[in-house]
Amino acid sequence: MTVSNTATGRDVVVTAMVATTSLAPELDATWSALVDGASGIRALDDDFLTEYDLPVRIGGRLVEHPSVHLTRIEQRRHSYVQQLALVLGRQVWAKAGTPGVDPERLAVSIGTGLGGGDAFISAIDAIRAGGYRKVAPLTVPMVMPNGPAARVGLEVGARGGVFAPTSACASGAEAIAHAWRLIATGEADVVVAGGVESYIEALQLSSFAMLRALSTRNDDPAGASRPFDRSRDGFVFGEAGALLVLESAEFAAARGAAVHGRVLGAGITSDGYHLTGTDPEGAGSARAMRKAIATAGLVPADIEHVNAHATATPVGDVSEARAITSVVPHASVYAPKSALGHSVGAVGALEAILTLCTLRDGIVPPTLNFSEPDEGVELDIVHGEARKQAMSYALTNSFGFGGHNVTLALGRA
């Protein structure tokens, strides 16, 4: 069926996409590697692993640190997530062709889960070692979670609003949902949107290890993340950043912009169940999926594919499987965290981009390490090898601590 968002307003298209991951420093190479079944999860070699005797020693490090694209002054004045946002912001704006848009009709929406934690830790170390005069003057701007969005907003000259969702692992997807609404309701013509996240460090590994949420398959890094599989034992951290440029279809057409896909709708709900645990029945997740489908002007039968949040935690995967089964049991399913790990605030945006690539190319990469489905998982999970599948509509799910649920409904260009 042909969809026009008459219920919510103007049609929204994607005119540029960039990503950096543990497989490659740019999107095309990452996508090709995923289709080929490659994994970006490797053994870590950081000194802090032995210093603190951490039980988890695997993760998906970025292939390329963002600082290589920045001057020394830019490196010194920005936290890691701001460096990542600044680099990706410049790249995605250039890929979009630097749209000539009225600044008051241009907005930015970039989410992050943890913000500039590295700058906060450095400031604490500095003041304890040498007093307040050793604290960097820009510490607060570097720490604040809205820093990445604000930095990109300054870079592109946005005056239509800068938004910074901080909803844990749903942050990147929620940022895209806000961008879609801004354009669909006529508040903006162009929005730079997506998510970034901090790098793998001792504190994050320690906290999640104490929660018993991380896989401890240190002897098998590539086989550690096992979404939906009966033998899964937790998630694996991954590093990533991903940004898109969204535009109204009319604005993009008027300037002759290339279109890579469409954002058709979004569903945002909350579980009201537990701070770190998901509703075992997946009720909140299912409501987000239904809302996304409804706002897109679709019906469940139209959805041919689901990009699953699927972190490989014991409870979370079964909960999501039940939600998918209750809404779109016929759809094929892909779980990219099996190859890239979990990049928290960035992952929702990254997986939205991967879903758009699936729609564009008509191919679903294989979910790695899936050999025996857990009880309660009755899904068409693509595994073993990539599957050719022509499709028009897909969902991508993102869920976060605090009971945040975000589903995006996406369409082929």
**Which one is catalytic: 65, 178, 305, 309?**
309
Specify the 3-state DSSP secondary structure of 96: coil
For residues 116 and 164, give the distance between their C-alpha atoms in angstroms, rounded to a whole number: 13
pTM of the model: 0.96
Paired tokens of 244:
């898109």
Active-site residue (options: 78, 169, 357, 383): 169
d(CA 221, CA 144): 33
Can you tell me whether residue 395 is helix, strand or coil?
strand
Residue 391 inside a domain? The answer is yes
Query: Quick check: is 69 catalytic?
Result: no
Assigned domain for 5 exists: no
Domain assignment of residue 376, yes or no:
yes
pLDDT in tens, 139-195: 898 899 999 999 999 999 999 999 999 999 999 999 999 999 999 999 999 999 999
Give how many domains the chain has, as a whole number: 1
Whether 342 is catalytic is yes
Q: Whole domain around residue 102: which residue ranges?
A: 12-411
List, in sequence order, the alpha helices (H) in 12-79.
Answer: 27-35, 47-51, 72-77
What pLDDT, in 10s, does the model give residues 37-85?
A: 999 999 999 999 999 999 999 999 999 999 999 999 999 999 999 999 9
Q: Binning pLDDT at 50, 70 and 90, where does residue 8 land?
A: low
Task: Kindly state whether residue 55 falls inside one of the protein's structural domains.
Answer: yes
In a domain? residue 6: no
Active-site pick, 65, 78, 260, 342? 342
Asked whether residue 334 is domain-assigned, the answer is yes
Domain-embedded: residue 281: yes
Which CATH number do you get for residue 363? 3.40.47.10
Mean pLDDT, residues 395-413: 96
DSSP class per residue in 203-253: HHHHHHHHTT-B---TT-GGGS--TTBTT---B-BB--EEEEEEEEHHHHH
In the structure, what pLDDT confidence band is assigned to residue 96 with cuts at 50, 70 and 90? very high
Cα–Cα distance for residue pair 245/188, rounded to 1 Å: 12
Q: Is residue 48 part of a domain?
A: yes
